[in-house]
């Protein structure tokens, strides 16, 4: 599926999908039980869905307990940003190379 007007700056510049292109549509497809289509749209959707679920749970814990678990988690991730960015770049390269866009 192609966008009529692409909004991704990476796709506009290169014509290739970034690691996040199609992610929202993939999660929407998965929530409707259309798993194969979701994986074709963006194979990264399970990681994104798990991250959203984990953050929701952390925010709920924070709201109920007054703790700052989400903030501590965010600070821990921010120290590993190079690793996270490297993984996303490798995923994007693989996605472009193997044509799963």
pLDDT at 6 over 60: yes
pLDDT at 1 over 70: no
Q: Dump pLDDT digits (tens) for 25-59.
A: 899 999 999 999 998 888 888 988 888 898 899 89
Contacts of 23 (CB under 8 A, 6+ apart): 41, 42, 44, 45, 48
Q: What percent of the chain has pLDDT over 90?
A: 21
Q: What is the pTM of this model?
A: 0.65
Q: How sure is the predictor about 100, in pLDDT bands with cuts at 50, 70 and 90?
A: low
Q: What angle do CA 16, 46, 53 make, to 5 degrees?
A: 125
pLDDT at 99 over 80: no
Contacts of 63 (CB under 8 A, 6+ apart): none
């Amino acid at each position: 599926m192609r966008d009529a007007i692409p909004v991704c700056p990476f796709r506009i510049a290169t014509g290739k999908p970034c690691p996040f292109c199609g992610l929202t549509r993939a999660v929407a497809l998965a929530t409707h039980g259309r798993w194969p289509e979701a994986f074709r749209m963006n194979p990264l959707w399970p990681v994104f869905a798990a991250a959203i679920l984990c953050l929701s749970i952390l925010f709920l814990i924070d709201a109920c307990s007054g703790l700052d678990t989400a903030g501590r988690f965010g600070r821990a991730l921010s120290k590993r940003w190079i690793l996270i960015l490297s993984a996303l770049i490798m995923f994007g390269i693989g996605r472009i190379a193997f044509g799963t866009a």
